[in-house]
C-alpha cells in the first residue's frame, strides 16, 4: 500500500483550513451586511414582542454605520452608507446611546424634526393625535414568568401604521410629557408596553434612552424566528418542550 506523502497531508490541511476560513468569513459578512439574530430579554415591547422571542434584524434596511460592524469598529458619523430613515412605526434594534454595549428594541414614533408629545397617555405627532381603540385583553408576562391579563389596544399613528400596545393604568409618570422636538439625525422611540418601558420619554442623563442617533441603528426587526417561554425552566426539565411558542415561529413583526 502506498504511503501518503507529507506534501499531500499539508495540502489537505491547508484545504480544510481554507474551507473553514471561508465559512467563518461568510457568516461574518452575512451578520454584518444582511441580517443578525437577537434575543428579547424584557417585556417592554409586549404584546408585539414577548420575553424569549428570537428576532431577525434586517441590517440593510437603513444602510450601514460603525454599529453594523463587530465591536462597532470604525469612525463616528451622522451619515450611514446607503442610509435610509426608518418609517414611523418600524420596530428597530439599536445600541443604547449612553451605553453602546447594550442593545435595545423599540418602535420608532418620531423622525428628525418631528414634535412628539404624550398627553394622558396618547401620542401626538406634529399636532396630530394618534388614535387608540380597545382590542380586548391579552396575557402580560413579567420577567419572573408570571402572567396577568392586561388591556390591549390598537394604536394608529399619523400616516396610518397600526400596531398593538398594552396600557394597564392611567395617570402614570410618563403619560404626560413636555413636547420633544427630535434633533437632526435622531429618532424618538417608544416601547409598546407603555407603562413598563424605558424609552425616549426618559432622557439619558436620568438613566433612560433619550433621542436615538440614526448612527446607532442596527437594523429593522422583521421576523420572530422562534420563541420559548423562559418561565418553563422553573418546571421539571421533561416539561421544557412545552415552552416553545410554535405559533410565533417565523411570524412577521408589525
Catalytic machinery residues? 44, 106
- Give pLDDT, residue 238: 73
Q: Give the model confidence (pLDDT) of 195-247 as tens digits.
A: 999 999 999 999 999 999 999 999 999 999 999 887 777 777 777 788 889 99
Cα→Cα distances 47→143, 147, 175, 253, Å: 14, 12, 19, 11
Q: How confident is the model at residue 12 (pLDDT cuts 50, 70, 90)?
A: low
116 within some domain:
yes
11 within some domain:
no
68 within some domain:
yes
CATH number for 224: 2.10.109.10
Residue 48 belongs to domain spanning: 35-252
Where do we find the cell 413583526? Answer: 253
- Give pLDDT, residue 8: 56
Q: How many domains does the chain contain in total?
A: 1
Cα→Cα distances 151→22, 47, 67, 70, 112, Å: 50, 10, 36, 40, 31
Q: Give the model confidence (pLDDT) of 166-205 as tens digits.
A: 999 888 889 999 999 999 999 999 999 999 999 999 999 9
* Stronger pLDDT, 27 or 105, i.e. the higher one: 105
- Give pLDDT, residue 29: 39
71 within some domain:
yes
18 within some domain:
no
236 within some domain:
yes
160 within some domain:
yes
> Which range has the worst mean pLDDT, 36-40, 65-69, 86-90, 203-207?
65-69
- Give pLDDT, residue 19: 44
Residue 18 has pLDDT above 50, yes or no: no
How many C-beta atoms lie closer than 10 Å to residue 96's C-beta?
Answer: 17
- Give pLDDT, residue 123: 98
How many C-beta atoms lie closer than 10 Å to residue 117's C-beta?
Answer: 18
Q: What CA–CA distance (Å, rounded) separates 10 from 5?
A: 9
Q: How confident is the model at residue 11 (pLDDT cuts 50, 70, 90)?
A: low
* Lookup: cell for 202: 426618559
Q: Give the model confidence (pLDDT) of 119-169 as tens digits.
A: 999 999 999 999 999 999 999 987 777 788 999 999 999 999 999 999 998
23 within some domain:
no
Residue 70 has pLDDT above 80, yes or no: no
Amino acid at each position: 500500500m502506498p504511503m501518503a506523502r507529507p506534501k499531500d497531508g499539508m495540502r489537505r490541511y491547508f484545504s480544510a483550513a481554507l474551507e473553514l476560513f471561508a465559512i467563518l468569513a461568510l457568516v461574518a459578512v452575512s451578520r454584518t451586511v444582511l441580517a443578525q439574530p437577537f434575543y428579547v430579554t424584557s417585556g417592554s415591547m409586549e404584546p408585539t414582542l414577548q420575553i424569549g422571542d428570537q428576532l431577525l434584524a434586517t441590517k440593510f434596511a437603513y444602510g450601514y454605520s460603525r454599529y453594523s460592524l463587530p465591536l462597532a469598529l470604525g469612525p463616528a458619523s451622522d451619515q450611514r452608507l446607503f442610509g435610509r430613515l426608518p418609517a414611523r412605526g418600524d420596530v428597530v434594534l439599536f445600541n443604547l446611546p449612553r451605553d453602546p454595549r447594550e442593545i435595545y428594541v423599540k418602535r420608532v414614533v418620531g423622525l428628525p424634526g418631528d414634535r412628539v408629545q404624550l398627553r394622558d397617555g396618547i401620542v401626538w405627532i406634529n399636532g396630530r393625535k394618534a388614535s387608540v381603540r380597545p382590542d380586548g385583553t391579552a396575557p402580560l408576562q413579567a420577567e419572573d414568568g408570571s402572567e396577568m391579563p392586561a388591556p390591549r389596544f390598537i394604536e394608529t399613528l399619523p400616516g396610518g401604521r397600526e400596531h398593538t400596545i398594552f396600557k394597564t393604568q392611567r395617570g402614570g409618570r410618563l403619560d404626560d410629557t413636555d413636547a420633544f422636538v427630535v434633533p437632526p439625525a435622531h429618532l424618538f422611540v417608544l416601547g409598546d408596553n407603555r407603562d413598563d418601558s424605558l424609552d425616549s420619554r426618559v432622557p439619558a442623563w436620568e438613566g433612560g434612552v433619550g433621542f436615538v442617533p440614526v448612527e446607532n441603528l442596527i437594523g429593522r426587526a422583521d421576523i420572530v424566528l422562534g420563541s420559548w417561554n423562559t418561565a418553563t425552566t422553573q418546571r421539571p426539565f421533561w416539561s421544557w418542550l412545552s415552552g416553545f411558542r410554535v405559533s410565533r415561529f417565523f411570524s412577521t413583526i408589525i
